């Protein structure tokens, strides 16, 4: 069997505020995601997680599951082996940290195909 990268796809459901770790999520408007060093209190660690529009990051926080600092949820991938997800939390709840529900992630290991391997290597001509 060739040594293909392992692909993991993440997405959230359509529930309001289904992924909320930091910031004020009590309002009606979606809260954008933050990534990297902007996440310093409560954050999800997925090594080298990325989307189609951004290089890999290591931390995700905020109110949207995305690596693009946006309110648009995204399908995320990681091909790091062994695959591990970690969560970091501390006792800091700043005044802007309200209404957070946490998260529930279901992930699926996708079979590696030539198309996925080509995309991982930077060629998105399927």
Cis before 82? omega within 30:
yes
Mean pLDDT along residues 1-19? 45
pLDDT tens-digit readout, 59-85:
988 777 888 877 777 778 888 888 888
By percentage, how much of the chain surpasses pLDDT 70? 56
Distance separating the N- and C-terminal Cα atoms of the chain: 22
Q: Which pTM was predicted?
A: 0.63
With beta carbons less than 8 A apart as the criterion, state whether 20 and 63 touch.
yes
The whole-number pLDDT of residue 70 equals 75
- Kindly tell me if the per-residue pLDDT of 121 is higher than 50: no
The whole-number pLDDT of residue 122 equals 47
Give the Cα separation of 75 and 77 in Å (integer). 7
């Amino acid at each position: 069997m060739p040594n293909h990268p392992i692909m993991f796809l993440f997405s959230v459901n359509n529930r309001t505020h289904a992924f909320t770790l930091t910031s004020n999520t009590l309002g009606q408007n979606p809260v954008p995601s933050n990534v990297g060093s902007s996440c310093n209190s409560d954050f999800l660690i997925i090594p080298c997680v990325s989307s189609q529009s951004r290089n890999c990051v290591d931390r995700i926080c905020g109110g949207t599951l995305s690596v693009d600092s946006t309110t648009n949820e995204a399908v995320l991938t990681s091909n790091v082996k062994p695959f591990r997800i970690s969560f970091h939390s501390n006792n800091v709840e700043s005044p802007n940290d309200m209404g957070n529900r946490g998260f529930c992630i279901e992930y699926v290991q996708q079979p590696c195909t030539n198309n996925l391997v080509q995309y991982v290597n930077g060629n998105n001509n399927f």
